[in-house]
Amino acid sequence: MYKKLILFLILCSSVNIFGQDSKPPNIIMMIGDGMGLSTISSGMYSNNNYTALEGSEYVGLIKTHSLDDLVTDSAASATAMSSGVKTNNKVIGLDSKGNLVETILEMSIDLGYSTAIVVTSSIVHATPASYYAHIDNRYKYDEIADHLSKSKIDFFIGGGEKYFNNRSDKRNLISEMNQYFFAKNIDQYKKSNSNKIGFLTADDEPIEKYKNREPSLDKAVEITIQKLTDMKKPFFLLIEGSQIDWGSHDNSQKHMISEFIEFDKTIENVLDYAKKDKNTLVVITADHETGGVAIVDGSLENSMVKNKYVSGSHTATMVPVFSFGKHSSLFKGIYDNTKIFDKLESIIKK
């Protein structure tokens, strides 16, 4: 009788009748490109002294250097986070010897996850490309687009249409990717019932948010999360607020802050989803800091700041990591950016 009781308890535990949720968690990875602490602070003070990041459960810091330079670029830093390997600047999805490294998105696909990428840059830009491509130079955009066409990603939104249908090799990847429905606008994207959808939002790079870029990142992400949820599988979603970085490169406070505020609205929606779902991990970080941004003046009453920049390029300062939801406590502390991959891998392979 005692042995039967033990066996019964083991079986009960395996089928979750005691309410323990053993389903693989959804993972939402959010990268604010170039988003350092002063960028966040500038956006927060410009937004009625509030950021949705205040809703995170844990905060950490990551070191961002690449293998060959103290100051990383987006290719090397995103490869570190996506694959757990330090590599040289400009390199995507390869180690320093040119060997292919498997990414967390590719692992997720192999484990049966649904996947999606939503960015405000071209879809072949360094950060998103580091999750699906393997190439020695981030600027080989035609080749990166070819990698995307073979990647098995379910949904993707970003610019860069010309790298698919106006290529030097005369191929039309949009025609070749016949398993995908290519949406012409956000309404088509939303209404499509296809399990493979591409939405190329601009011929080259999308315009700035303060110039009325559409669709908004928060709306695109909201629709994508619903599509992923409807597939009834765990999912991996990569979101990048790409142009936060570009604003800082240009030392443009207006560009930088408007991009952060849109990203922050997206964070708010994502955290709301994770709170309701209760089986989603959200990790929010940056690939590096850009511009050496400082806040030198401003007014809380008027929700305004005055920024100064020490550079038109990246810096080597650490950047924050915010986390919420399932296994979020793993992401507190100070560690190398390669550990982002290590922690995510430990979660999806539990």
| Catalytic residue (choose from 38, 46, 56, 74) | 74
306 - beta bridge partners? Answer: 297
- Start-to-end Cα distance in the chain: 32
46 a catalytic residue: no
Catalytic residues: 74
